[in-house]
Amino acid sequence: MSKMDEYARGKRDGVRAAVEWLHLRAKGMNDPHARRILDSAALHLGEARKADVTGWLRGKAESSPAE
């Protein structure tokens, strides 16, 4: 497993905390529509992070010198 630089790790941890916060807020909602909106936002935020990280890793691999 490759080491993540501090920026990528901080970004990952920040998004993870935001997703967790959205899910916790959703649990406290009485309105099912509001819960679905917050859960949907958490899902999309998590998917965007995954796409960003894989794109970042793909970019790192492409920029490394060919052996």
pLDDT at 12 over 60: yes
Domains of the chain: which residue ranges? 3-63
Provide the 8-state DSSP code for 11: H
pLDDT at 31: 94
Gap between the Cα atoms of 48 and 43, Å rounded: 9
| Residue that wins the pLDDT comparison between 29 and 58 | 29
- The model scores a pTM over 0.75: no
Q: Give 35-62 pLDDT, tens digit per residue.
A: 999 999 988 888 887 777 666 556 655 5
Distances (CA, A) of 37 to 11, 18, 29, 42, 45: 23, 14, 11, 9, 12
